[in-house]
Amino acid sequence: MEHPSTPKLAYSIEEAMAATTLSRPTLWRLAREGKLETRKIGGRVLVPAESLRKLIEGDKLTEGDKLTGFDVL
């Protein structure tokens, strides 16, 4: 269970949908376009909290931030 004072490092797609009010297809489109980072860890796809923050605040991802597909850990 998450401790209330511990910030989330990443969100599941469902949690990202709830946090941003964006639809699943919109989040996947943004990921394909390199505007939203995703990480595949095991069978789960996670969205780093920093990537969501940058998206919502309008910060552009730098070239080093842009992904093509998934980073597999």
Chain segment 32-59, per-residue pLDDT in tens? 999 999 999 999 999 999 999 999 998 7
pLDDT for 5-23, tens place per residue?
A: 788 999 999 999 999 999 9
- pLDDT for residue 6: 86
Q: How many domains does the chain have?
A: 1
Residue 63 predicted with pLDDT over 80? no
Round to the nearest angstrom and report the end-to-end CA distance of the chain. Answer: 23
For the question of whether the overall pTM of this predicted structure is more than 0.95, the answer is no
Q: Where in the sequence is the domain holding 14, given as residue range(s)?
A: 10-72
44 located within any domain: yes
Residue 34 inside a domain? The answer is yes
Residue 4 belongs to some domain of the structure:
no
Query: Is 5 inside a domain boundary?
Result: no
**Which DSSP helix (H) or strand (E) runs through 29?**
helix 24-32
